[in-house]
Structure 1
Amino acid sequence: MADLPDSARGTIDAVASAFTDLPNSALPSSEHPRASEVDGPIGWAGYDAARDRARQRTGEQESVVCGTGVVDGVEAVLIAFDFGFLGGSIGQRTGDRIEAAFASARRQRLPVVSLIATGGSRMQEGMRALTQLQRIARQAASTRAAGLPQLAVLRNPTTGGGWATLGAGADVTLAVPGAQVAFAGSRVRPPGEPDAYTAEGQYAAGHVDQIVEPHLLRERLGRWLRLLTGASTEPAPPPARPPREAPRPPATGWDAVLRARSTGRPTARSYVDSYVDWREDIRGDRSGGTDDGVLCGFGHRNGATVAYAAQCGTATTPAGFRTAARLVRLADRLGIPVLTLVDTPGAANDAAAERAGAGPAIAELFSAIASATVPVTTLVIGEGGSGGALAFAAADRMWITPDAYFSVTSPEAAARILKRDADDVPATADQLRLRPQDLVDLGIATGITD
């Protein structure tokens, strides 16, 4: 593992171009000189002396420093843990400061950035310390309901309640390489599988969005803050075709299927990259799953932000549907319009997908799009295979390219269901009326893009 992290103020200096402590009036009364309480709420012998040593060693009064700052040009409320102060542990006064920080964010309508380095709840305060997690969760929920974004940077170590509230509960979670990240601390977890307790392990499992080198944190946080505060009421227009000659609409249904399956047509990533000036991706469904065949994130386009959820041509797994649903819900809460790109032969239908909840995951995305209050725009760029494709589609703002199709099921599956021979697949494709022009005639698609 890496060395213990720098002080909280040192971390703030690494990511903020300006920093001002919260004014005393914003802090609760417990930040004033201590009352007659000796050795904390449960009378832990020597606790007062330990706190005094921590103050002398770090120059801080508690394990967190909270304030407003400007991160690469964007103002935010910062919550920075100092691991040197009793292991960055969370006690009553830690909760006081964090509560004040969230309240300040809501008053000022600012995003919250948590720079976390903690070993968890402070044992010397017993249950009083543990219940601070409920207090932090309430503050985070109130801030979420206010439509304000929350970002977390996981430093070394991030364990216990700090991970389970501010870290894992953030809208976007970044981590520094090599950091210990886990609910269970190193002294209490069972032996074996050490990689599962690292930033890289959490990234692989879909619990962390990005691994970021410390010297890049200011830039990366600034990009994320600009994206997540870039709300817009305008719907995302359908993307133009990446530079390449657009084909004429297909003559037959089978022609449409073959075009959509061609490796020569533009990919989802090429559409997204040509659509936005720059972008940042999110990763994972926060339930232990990832799907590299689904590309989700936020992009900067013409001075505003657009969210994107794009299928990349593979069968979509339950993790892919859940990641897309996570993206749509976050964009909706922040007032950011959504673009979805459809390109899949269908939902993954193997036994592993069923065990992982294919049906509930598809239902989750259907619900997220159906309940979104921000405009959702869809472009079908390749295969539109059954409900696994439709879950990504907007009901009233869907476009299609000339080299795409959308069908109730694939022609091959339809032929099998109808007990037809393989030679009947092309004719079945014609009967399904799955061509772009068919979808426009049926009122399913708004139009065919160039």
Structure 2
Amino acid sequence: MPERLSAREAVAALAEPGTFAELPAPDGGTGGAADEAPDGPLGWPGYDAMRARARARTGEEESVVCGTARVGTTRAVLISFEFGFLGGSLGERTGDRLVAAHRHARAHGLPVVSLIATGGSRMQEGMRALLQLQRVAGESALTRARGLPQLAVVRDPTTGGGWATLGAGADVVLALPDAQIGFAGSRVRPADADPYAYTARAQFAAGQVDALVDPDELGTTVGRWLTLLTAGGGGDRAASYATPLSGPADETLPPPAGLGLGGTPATGWQAVLRARSPDRPRAPAYLDAYLEQRAEITGDRCGGRDPGMLCGFGLRGGRPVAYAAQAGTATLPAGYRTAARLVRLADRLGIPVLTLVDTPGAANDAEAERSGAGAAIADLFQAVATARVPLTTLVIGEGGSGGALALSAPGNTWATADSYFSVIAPEPATAILKRPVEEIREVAGRLRLRPQDLVDLGVVRGIVPTAGARS
């Protein structure tokens, strides 16, 4: 059984010493939480005594502690659950505190960090307790609309509505490695359920959690994330970058410099070979050269992860930048969904986006079809098309058909000298045209897929200069 931090211990693991200021308990605006009948809205026998014992045992008045603190360099609202208080369950008074915390965040332009350890809704308050999930979801939506980031640190255990709202609904989800996580609590799962499925590691593998974080690294990790999402200010930044893409193209991020071969390829087939070279620099090298620091989000929140799609946030010149980068493999449906999630989150937070194109194409096996390849690609096209923040794309290797185009910024795509972009790769193009395999090289030339061809065709804006070019 992993060690369970108390609410205040969890706060102390994050907050800079002496900066936590607890928010005053709300007076109860639900029409029942402040002046409830004895033993709660259901008249549950012994409920008042249960709460009294919980207060004596934990020193807390409710199952959550809310306040403001500085985490790293960023001020934030912290919501910390006390599992020792009736299993960290959500009742009406819990809901009042969560509502007040989100309203304080919006009033002061602060991000929200939820440190969750809860067994779900409080049975002794029945449906009045369950309704708090709607209240929390509504407040979270308002905070989201304000352009303020929400992070969750999932502690042990986190189940039920607490996971399904504050946890899984957060923009970035971090989890303690040994935490139990799942919508179904341990006492209501099927008897033959695989216990591993309800662990942080399983949720991470299934794309529901962005990262597993050691308790000793919580403060550093959450502080880094807040800096990446707010540039350390914790204020309302959504309006600063939310400019339509119809504005001047120079307002967008500059594309990275090329890191591979210089000079342009002589033939289409040479362009293909250069892009496919195992020695060509890949996405991690470009991201490391372009950004001062970065952290990844992983998973599509639908049960899938694609290690060939790198998504996250970084800093460039102290300014937050979001990125979605293909790593040279056929992109899975989970990869497209993760990229769409990244673009929409960056758009809501007002953070410009860099995308790196490098894929032979979308995965096209039976499993990809069963996983909704077409719908996932369509969703990414929509996310890119409707983004208000500036988007910049650099083709750094293979640009394979619609699976690559979905990640490309309309009107602001660039290419490196050792890349190509094509309606389809030469080999399948040759097969579709019913030409002999000996004509693959000729077909590559006719496709006009070289970077200089793409400039002439108006497909890309230009070929970026190559740093330390070698030919």
Which TM bucket (shorter chain)? Answer: over 0.9
Counterpart residue identity of residue 284, structure 2: R
1:393-404 paired onto structure 2 within 5 Å: 393-404=408-419
Is contact 1:27-1:100 (8 Å) kept? no
Please tell me whether the aligned partners of residues 399 and 405 of structure 2 are also in contact (alpha carbons under 8 angstroms). Answer: yes
Structure 2 residue aligned with 1:351, among 356, 366, 379? 366
Deviation at 1:192, TM superposition (A): 3.2
Structure 1 residue aligned with 2:247 = none
Matches within 5 A, 1:327-342: 327-342=342-357
Residue in structure 2 matched with residue 125 of structure 1 by the alignment: 125
Asked if the contact 2:313–2:322 (Cα under 8 Å) also holds between the matched residues in 1, the reply is yes
Deviation at 1:33, TM superposition (A): 10
* CA distance in structure 2 between the partners assigned to 1:326 and 1:69 by the alignment: 28
Counterpart CA distance in 1 for 2:299 and 2:79 is 25
Structure 1 residues 33 and 413: alpha-carbon distance in aligned structure 2, compared to 1, 3 A threshold: closer
Answer yes or no: is the 8 Å Cα contact 1:87–1:118 preserved in 2.
yes
Structure 1 regions of 5+ residues with no counterpart?
none
DSSP 3-state at the match of 1:237: coil
Cα gap change, 1:305 to 1:197, in 2 (>3 Å): same
Over the aligned positions, Cα root-mean-square deviation in angstroms equals 1.5
Find 1:445's aligned residue among 460, 463, 469: 460
1:281 corresponds to which of 290, 296, 320: 296
CA displacement 1:11-53 (0-9 Å, x = unmatched)? 10110011001135x6545799953610000011000000000
1:240, CA displacement in angstroms?
A: 1.4
- Which one of the candidate residues 257, 261, 268 is aligned to 1:253? 268
Instruction: Give the match for residue 376 of structure 2.
Output: 361
The whole-number CA distance in structure 2 between the counterparts of 1:36 and 1:137 is: 24
> Separation in 1 of the partners of 2:328 and 2:387?
25
Whole-angstrom CA distance in 2 between matches of 1:28 and 1:258: 67
Distance, in Å, in 1 between the alignment partners of 2:409 and 2:147 is 23
Instruction: Indicate the SS of the match to 2:66.
Output: strand
Q: What secondary structure sits across from 1:126 in the alignment? A: helix
Answer yes or no: is the 8 Å Cα contact 1:28–1:100 preserved in 2: no
1:371 maps to which of 386, 393, 399: 386
Q: Taking structure 1 as reference, are residues 375 and 53 closer, same or farther at Cα in structure 2, changes over 3 Å only?
A: same
Please name the residue that 1:241 is paired with: 258
Q: Is the 2:400–2:425 contact (alpha carbons within 8 Å) kept by the matching residues of 1? A: yes
Instruction: Give the conservation status (yes or no) of the 8 Å contact 2:258–2:417.
Output: no
* 1:26-37 superposed matches below 5 A: 28=28, 35=35, 37=37
Residue 200 of structure 1 is matched in structure 2 by: 201
Distance 1:193 1:332, change over 3 A: same
- What TM-score results when the alignment is normalised by the length of structure 2? 0.93
> How is 1:39-438 mapped onto 2 (pairs within 5 angstroms)?
39-190=39-190, 191-230=192-231, 233=241, 234-242=251-259, 246-438=261-453
Shift of 1:241: 2.5
CA distance in 2, matches of 1:235, 1:170: 28
What is the CA–CA distance in structure 2 between the aligned matches of 1:220 and 1:235, rounded to whole Å?
29
Q: Which amino acid aligns with 1:218?
A: G
Q: Number of aligned pairs? A: 446
Change (3 A) 1:437 1:27: farther
Deviation track 1:391-423 (CA, whole Å, cap 9, x = no partner) reads 000111110001000000011111101100010
Alignment match, 2:244 = none
2:42 alignment partner AA? I
Structure 1 residue 247: deviation in Å? 2.1
Contact 1:31/1:93 (<8 A) preserved: no
Larger mean CA deviation between 384-393 and 233-242 belongs to 233-242
8 Å Cα contact 1:307-1:331 kept in structure 2: yes
Distance (Å, rounded) in 1 between the aligned partners of 2:145 and 2:320: 20
CA distance in 2, matches of 1:31, 1:129: 13
Distance in 2 between the 1:407 and 1:115 partners?
47
* Contact 1:90/1:120 (<8 A) preserved: yes
Aligned to 2:248: none
**1:371-401 Cα deviation digits (max 9, x unpaired):** 0000000000000000000000011111000
Which residue identity is paired with 1:435? Answer: R
Gaps of 5+ in 2: 232-236, 242-250, 466-471
Structure 2: distance between partners of 1:15 and 1:43 = 39
Report deviation, 1:306.
Answer: 0.5
State the Cα deviation string for residues 37-79 of structure 1 (Å, max 9, x = none): 1000001100000000000111110000011111112100111
Alpha-carbon separation, structure 1, partners of 2:32 and 2:66: 16
* C-alpha displacement of 1:357: 0.6
3-state SS of paired residue (1:162): helix
CA distance in 1, matches of 2:92, 2:36: 15
183-192 or 200-209: bigger deviation:
183-192
Name whichever of 30-39 and 382-391 sits farther off: 30-39
Give the counterpart letter for 1:12 in structure 2.
V
Instruction: State the alpha-carbon separation in 1 of the partners of residues 32 and 406 from structure 2.
Output: 54
Deviation at 1:312, TM superposition (A): 0.5
Query: Aligned residues: percent identity?
Result: 65
Residue identity in the other structure for 2:112: V
C-alpha displacement of 1:273:
1.0
Which amino acid is the alignment partner of residue 174 of structure 1?
L
In structure 2, distance between residues paired with 1:34 and 1:394: 52
In structure 2, the partner of 1:6 is 5
